[in-house]
Amino acid sequence: MKNINRHLPGLVFSIIVLLMTSRLPAENEIIPKPRRSLSAFPILMYDTNIGVGYGGKAKFVNFLSRQESLDFIVFNSSGGERWYVFTLSVPDTEIRQGKIYAVSFDLKAEYDKYLEYRFYGVGPDSRKRDEADFIYEKKDLQLTLGRGFTPHLVLQALYTVRNLKISDVQESAPLISGVLRKEGDKLCPFVSILVRYDTSDSQIHPKKGMRLLFQNDWAGKYLGSRDASYHRLTLDLRKYVLFLGQKDVLAFRARLQSVSGSRIPLFELSSLGGGEDVSAMRGYGLNRYLDKGKILVNAEYRFPIWERLGGNIFLDGGSVWPSIKKVDLGKSVFDFGWGLRYYLQNFVVRFDMGISGEGTGIYFNFGHIF
């Protein structure tokens, strides 16, 4: 780990230089200019973790004639979530899908605050009845530079400035509450290198092809992190298959992750639970299971219902562990459920209901889980 840390700044600089100075596309490889488009959707929903929510999402594509997209989310809920997201992408992710391009640029600013967040402990044996409530606040500013070397091979370098704050911890199991109080307010920027091999036909609604993603995250003092030092490795494989015609889709995803280091913020550990794409166990609460490693498997059957409205049925399974030597798949958990999808030109609206041995989860968000 120390050797990696010593050489990482030079490695990251070299990758960024490579992204910026690689051969420009030939004339027949340049991304064609898209038309302007706007997709907007109001939010009025209920979510198991946050209660009744309201707000809206809008995405503007090519309004500046630079093949760019501007994406906004404004959201509040009765359960106390405050979620605001701004994303600028040049070119837009769907425009550059399956293309060769010299450089892509993404800038994302996100603020997410929960007045009623929950922690259940660390490990596969954590108990739901030990949950502790607290206020959770996350601030992210992320810069991504990318390069499409072929229509299917993409390399990205990311730098994320992240601030995590935990406060107002409620009394519960003493050990659980004690762990939370040690977290406090942490500044933990990190750098990421992501390699993606992607033969899928869309970033918004893939129907066929596969995606293989390999991501390395590093946090440490040399990157401006005063409160974190860790290395996180993620491998994600996704497969999409047309089924019973040209609209029904079978989708599969397997995600493996491992985190190591001397100072790992609690919510930078591998997680399972809730309706987030990286941790989707839709019959369990958000971050229901946390540890230094995990496996997550999702399977969905997506089918049309009427015009832009679609549905899906799904099965989720996963497990967490403290180390590779202590993997115990006998402690895996599972859920199943159904959902609805509403397809707009520039994004998908998602509703899911998951059922597990611990209850039922209801989630509303944007984009497919995978």
Sequence spans of domains, the chain: 38-366
Name the phi and psi angles at 310, rounded to 5.
Answer: -130, 170
pLDDT band at 41 (very low <50, low <70, confident <90, very high): very high
- Write down the H helix ranges in 104-240: 174-183
Q: What is the value of pTM for the model shown? A: 0.88
**pLDDT (0 to 100) of residue 179:** 86
The closest of 130, 99, 281 to 201, measured between CA atoms, is 99
Q: What is the CATH number of domain 38-366?
A: 2.40.160.50
3-state SS class at 247: coil
Does the CA dihedral 149-153-155-160 come out positive or negative? positive
Residue 151, number of CB atoms within 10 A of its CB: 15
pLDDT band at 18 (very low <50, low <70, confident <90, very high): low
Which contacts qualify for 344-347: CB closer than 8 Å, 24 or more apart?
A: 344/39, 344/41, 344/308, 345/37, 345/39, 346/37, 346/38, 346/39, 346/59, 346/61, 346/69, 346/94, 346/204, 347/39, 347/41, 347/57, 347/59, 347/71, 347/204
Give the C-alpha separation, 369 to 346, whole Å: 16
Give the C-alpha separation, 319 to 337, whole Å: 19
**pLDDT (0 to 100) of residue 70:** 98
Give the C-alpha separation, 49 to 75, whole Å: 14
Does the structure show a pLDDT above 80 at 60?
yes
Please say whether the beta carbons of 148 and 99 come within 8 A. Answer: yes
The closest of 252, 337, 329, 265 to 295, measured between CA atoms, is 329
Which range is least confidently modeled, 99-103, 120-124, 127-131, 360-364?
127-131
**Whole-angstrom Cα Rg for the chain:** 20
* Higher local confidence (pLDDT), 21 or 203: 203
DSSP secondary structure string for all residues of 135-146: EEEEEEEEEEEE
**pLDDT (0 to 100) of residue 280:** 95
